[in-house]
């Protein structure tokens, strides 16, 4: 009796699974992969990026979808880890996605891009800035944000020309992203005649920076550049100040998150990060921000707009191409300009955005604001 | 805006001090590893997670209290630490009761595997139910310890750093006294030597072993609170890295030996700090394990581990 009821349950469960399986392969849907860090230390920035894309998907579906078909997002968490990202990429390929929006971390996007390229799937990353991603010459790889060579040179110019410093220290988190941007800053700062007194890497799970701070102090560096994310950047800044080291703290787009301000405090001084231009007040920005806040009941993140723009560009290109065929969609994407919240953008042959302007932001009144004038 | 270069001696002094504090942090966790090993001869890999649970329990308790009856600095911190100890002790006891007790007479690999399972389970349990992201320790409660300095000749130390080192040494001394001088300590050592014989002479073996877990876990909670203050952040994986280093330290000092755990931890901490000074922090893991290998080549049972021969 007991056995048979269990058996019946199992049978029902299996048939439900089969039904779910059928639903997934609905031919009238366009499957789009959404991949990025949704857990771990980069969760906040990763989730808000994917949520931006979700807003765009909802809008398109409300208008009747793309090419008359409903967009079906398939979401996966890569935990910000390279190995996990490759598994996610393979799963998305198996699920039959026609394009992927993601990933977030460069260390995830780069290894995953090989999988997507082999499967002829368009990948458009809203937030991976390491140049290597598009330097692989994959025909289907795009990004909507800038590159670290551009970002690094803006940071180095700020340190050397604006702050007029001769000697800096650099610390990075040893990831493709953090080490990549740290090397760019070093290269550009030295090209401008500056001196890098110290460059070191530290594991991404380490939170005790005291020994590094001692070395920075001893090196006589006039500023620190942190190549990494807010998860470590915040505690690093706090520990520097506890040790009485108040030199300027310069960092990258990875430190551009509300969580950074939550850690360092609203009145934290001397923090400068490079990020894309301010989109507040641009056409469509207010509507997007309102929709985002209404949907998710929280403020948008640093890369939400980029996630939204990436999705819009992708769906617009599919509509214009009249198909989801990757070769034709990629040709459309590279062939014409697109209107986004971040302004009109065009892709070059590599899949990079031609118009990417990094500017220096600072923390003021409890939020990030574009730095105006000299600090 | 210009910082003058400090003399090299001053930097080295600061490096050594920070290395000692880093070592003391590892030592607080290593004591838990070494106690359980000393009694049961098993490595409790879930100890790092018990430490992490202590961190979360304290932060959430403090959060609840400041909402409940306001920001009373010392009171909330004290009660928060007590709550952390209770939570960690409960988890430590539950681990022993559920995952290890039944396996006590099994092959040595069985409880070890079980411990690794518990460790993974607890990490993802906290990850899924409490927080997927890092949480900041409330700075209102840590600033008075981290921003107050004691100026000495070549360097200065924060009150929190002094507290960490002092608490480590006090706990080490207390444990040493407890194990060697008290009645319960005698029961503990008897259980470690031979559980069957200890049971025959009327020692409540199960209770003694459970007590070891409760004590070690409560100590881990104290460590968790101080480390959360010291690092400023905590996350579901916070126990992993510190746990790994603490475990290494316990092996280095001679696992099963209380002063050995502290000595091993101090060596690991100082060597990491010095590596950062000489070669850069990217090499700190390399030197730690090179030191471990060299020590184990010369003294296979660790620096102070001499009477472990009858253990395995």
Res A21: pLDDT: 46
Answer yes or no: is B291 within a domain.
yes
- Report the CATH number that the domain containing residue B217 is assigned in CATH: 1.10.3470
Instruction: Please give, rounded to a whole number of angstroms, the shortest distance from the CA of B122 to a CA of chain A.
Output: 15
Specify whether A303 is located in the same domain as A262: no
Question: Is pLDDT above 60 for A9?
Answer: no
Of the CA atoms within 13 Å of residue B168, those in its CB half-sphere come to 30
- Tally of structural domains, chain B: 1
Res B2: pLDDT: 39
- Report the CATH number that the domain containing residue A270 is assigned in CATH: 3.40.50.2300
Answer yes or no: is A143 within a domain.
yes
Q: Which range of residues forms the domain containing residue A269? A: 149-277+359-370
What residues does A367 pair with on adjacent strands? A364
Q: Where are the beta strands (DSSP E) in chain A?
A: 29-36, 70-77, 99-101, 122-125, 141-143, 167-172, 195-201, 223-227, 249-251, 271-276, 338-340, 343-345, 358-364, 367-370
Specify whether A138 is located in the same domain as A16: yes
pLDDT tens digits along A252-296: 999 998 889 989 988 788 999 999 988 888 888 999 999 999 999
Res A1: pLDDT: 42
Specify whether A134 is located in the same domain as A34: yes
Q: Which range of residues forms the domain containing residue B145? A: 8-298
Answer yes or no: is A167 within a domain.
yes
For B8, the closest chain A residue by CA position comes to: A218
Instruction: Please give, rounded to a whole number of angstroms, the shortest distance from the CA of B10 to a CA of chain A.
Output: 8
CB atoms within 10 A of CB B63: 14
- Tally of structural domains, chain A: 2
Question: Is pLDDT above 70 for A5?
Answer: no
3-state secondary structure A276-332: ECCCCCCCCHHHHHHHHHHHHCCCCCCCHHHHHHHHHHHHHHHHHHCCCCHHHHHHH
Q: Inspect the interface and report whether the beta carbons of A242 and B146 lie closer than 8 Å.
A: yes
Question: Is pLDDT above 80 for A183?
Answer: yes
Contacts of A38 in chain B (CB under 8 A): 132
Residue A339 structure tokens? 């209107």
Interface of B with A (CB under 8 A): 1-6, 8, 10-11, 14-15, 18-19, 21-22, 25, 127, 132-134, 136, 139, 146-147, 149, 156, 158, 230-233, 235, 237-238, 240-241, 272-273, 276-277, 280-282, 284-285
Nearest-angstrom CA–CA distance, A241 and B147: 8
Answer yes or no: is A222 within a domain.
yes
What residues does A368 pair with on adjacent strands? A363
Question: Is pLDDT above 90 for A40?
Answer: no
On the question of a cis peptide bond just before residue A103, with omega within 30 degrees of 0, the verdict is yes
Answer yes or no: is A375 within a domain.
no
Specify whether A132 is located in the same domain as A241: no
Residue among A60, A66, A57 at smallest CA distance from A28? A66
Res A6: pLDDT: 54
Nearest-angstrom CA–CA distance, A109 and A363: 29
Residue found under tokens 């110290």: A198
Query: Residue range A67-75: average pLDDT?
Result: 93
Specify whether A124 is located in the same domain as A203: no
Answer yes or no: is B127 within a domain.
yes
Answer yes or no: is B190 within a domain.
yes
Res B8: pLDDT: 63
What residues does A30 pair with on adjacent strands? A71
Res A42: pLDDT: 87
Answer yes or no: is A5 within a domain.
no
Specify whether A125 is located in the same domain as A24: yes
* A203 inside 8 A of chain B by CB: yes
> Quick one: pLDDT band at residue A375, thresholds 50, 70, 90?
low
Nearest-angstrom CA–CA distance, A256 and A363: 10
Among the listed ranges A67-71, A90-94, A145-149, B103-107, which one has the minimum average pLDDT value?
B103-107
Answer yes or no: is B307 within a domain.
no
Which residue did the predictor score with more confidence, A6 or B29? B29
Answer yes or no: is B310 within a domain.
no
Specify whether A85 is located in the same domain as A185: no
Answer yes or no: is B308 within a domain.
no
Q: Going edge to edge, which strands form the sheet with A141-143?
A: A70-77, A29-36, A99-101, A122-125, A141-143
Specify whether A208 is located in the same domain as A112: no
> Quick one: pLDDT band at residue A99, thresholds 50, 70, 90?
very high
Answer yes or no: is A70 within a domain.
yes
Specify whether A171 is located in the same domain as A143: no
Question: Out of A174, A217, A218, whose CB is closest to B282?
Answer: A174
Answer yes or no: is B309 within a domain.
no
Among the listed ranges A27-41, A119-133, B165-179, which one has the minimum average pLDDT value?
A27-41
Question: Out of A43, A220, A263, whose CB is closest to B136?
Answer: A263
Answer yes or no: is A3 within a domain.
no
Res B310: pLDDT: 46
Answer yes or no: is A77 within a domain.
yes
Res A14: pLDDT: 52
Question: Ramachandran region of residue B234, left (φ > 0), alpha (ψ -120 to 50) or beta?
Answer: beta
Specify whether A183 is located in the same domain as A237: yes
Specify whether A158 is located in the same domain as A194: yes
Answer yes or no: is B257 within a domain.
yes
The per-residue pLDDT of chain A, averaged, comes to 89
Res B41: pLDDT: 85
Per-residue pLDDT of chain B (312 residues; tens, 9 = 90+): 334 445 566 888 889 999 999 999 999 999 999 998 888 888 889 999 999 999 999 999 999 999 988 888 889 999 999 999 999 999 999 999 999 888 888 888 898 899 999 999 999 899 888 887 888 898 888 888 888 888 877 778 889 999 999 999 999 999 999 998 999 999 999 998 888 999 999 999 999 999 999 999 999 999 999 999 999 889 888 888 899 999 999 999 988 889 999 999 999 999 999 999 999 888 988 998 999 999 989 888 888 876 544 443
Specify whether A164 is located in the same domain as A256: yes
pLDDT tens digits along A216-238: 999 999 999 999 999 999 999 99
What residues does A77 pair with on adjacent strands? A36
CB atoms within 10 A of CB B171: 18
């Amino acid at each position: 009796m007991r056995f048979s009821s269990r058996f019946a349950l199992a049978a029902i469960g299996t048939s439900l699974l089969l039904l779910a399986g059928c639903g997934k392969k609905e031919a009238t849907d366009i499957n789009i992969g959404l991949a990025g860090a949704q857990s771990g230390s980069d969760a906040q920035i990763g989730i808000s990026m994917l949520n931006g894309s979700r807003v765009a998907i909802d809008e398109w579906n409300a208008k009747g979808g793309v090419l008359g078909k409903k967009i079906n997002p398939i979401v996966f968490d890569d935990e910000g880890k390279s190995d996990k990202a490759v598994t996610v990429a393979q799963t998305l390929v198996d699920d039959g996605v026609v394009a992927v929006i993601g990933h977030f971390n460069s260390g995830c996007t780069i290894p995953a891009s090989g999988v997507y390229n082999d499967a002829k799937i368009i990948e458009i990353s809203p937030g991976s800035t390491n140049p290597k991603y598009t330097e692989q010459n994959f025909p289907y790889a795009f990004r909507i944000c800038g590159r670290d060579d551009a970002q690094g040179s803006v940071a180095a110019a700020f340190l050397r020309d604006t702050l007029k410093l001769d000697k800096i220290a650099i610390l990075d988190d040893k990831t493709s992203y953090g080490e990549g941007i740290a090397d760019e800053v070093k290269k550009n700062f030295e090209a401008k005649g500056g001196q890098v007194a110290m460059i070191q890497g530290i594991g991404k799970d380490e939170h005790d920076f005291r020994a590094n701070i001692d070395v920075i102090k001893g090196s006589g560096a006039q500023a620190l550049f942190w190549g990494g994310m807010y998860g470590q950047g915040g505690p690093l800044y706090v520990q520097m100040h506890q040790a009485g080291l108040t030199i300027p703290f310069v960092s990258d787009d990875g430190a551009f998150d509300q969580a950074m301000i939550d850690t360092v405090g609203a009145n934290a001084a001397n923090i400068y990060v490079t990020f894309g231009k301010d989109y507040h007040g641009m056409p469509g920005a207010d509507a997007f921000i309102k929709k985002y806040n209404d949907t998710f009941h929280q403020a948008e993140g640093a890369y939400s707009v980029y996630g939204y723009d990436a999705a819009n560009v992708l769906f617009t290109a599919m509509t214009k191409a009249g198909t989801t065929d990757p070769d034709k969609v990629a040709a459309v994407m590279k062939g014409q300009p697109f209107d986004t919240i971040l302004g009109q953008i065009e892709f070059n042959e590599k899949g990079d955005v031609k118009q990417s302007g990094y500017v220096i932001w600072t923390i003021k009144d409890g939020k990030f604001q574009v730095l105006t004038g000299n600090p | 805006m210009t910082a003058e270069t400090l003399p090299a001696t001053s930097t080295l002094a600061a490096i050594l001090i920070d290395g000692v504090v880093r070592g003391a942090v590892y030592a607080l966790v290593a004591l838990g590893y070494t106690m359980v090993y000393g009694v049961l001869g098993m490595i409790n890999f879930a100890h790092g997670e018990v430490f992490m649970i202590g961190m979360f329990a304290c932060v959430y308790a403090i959060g609840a209290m400041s909402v409940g009856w306001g920001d009373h600095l010392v009171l909330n911190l004290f009660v928060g630490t007590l709550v952390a100890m209770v939570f960690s002790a409960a988890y430590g006891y539950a681990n022993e009761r559920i995952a290890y007790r039944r396996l006590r007479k099994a092959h040595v690999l069985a409880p070890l595997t079980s411990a690794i399972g518990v460790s993974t389970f607890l990490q993802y349990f906290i990850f899924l139910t409490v927080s997927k992201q890092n949480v900041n320790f409330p700075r209102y409660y840590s600033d008075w310890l981290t921003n107050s300095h004691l100026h000495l000749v070549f360097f200065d130390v924060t009150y929190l750093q002094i507290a960490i080192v002092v608490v480590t040494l006090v706990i080490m001394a207390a444990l040493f006294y407890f194990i060697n001088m008290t009645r319960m300590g005698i029961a503990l050592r008897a259980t470690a030597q031979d559980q069957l014989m200890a049971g025959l002479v009327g020692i409540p073996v199960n209770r003694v072993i459970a007590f070891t877990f409760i004590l070690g876990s409560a100590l881990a909670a104290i460590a968790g609170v101080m480390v959360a203050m010291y690092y400023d952040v905590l996350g579901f994986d916070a126990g992993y890295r510190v746990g790994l280093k603490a475990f290494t330290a316990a092996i280095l000092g001679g696992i099963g030996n209380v002063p050995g755990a502290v000595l091993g931890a101090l060596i690991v901490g100082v060597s990491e700090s010095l590596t950062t000074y000489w070669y850069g922090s990217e090499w700190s893991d390399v030197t730690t394990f090179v030191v471990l290998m060299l020590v184990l080549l010369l003294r296979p049972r660790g620096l102070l581990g001499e009477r472990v021969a009858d253990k395995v």
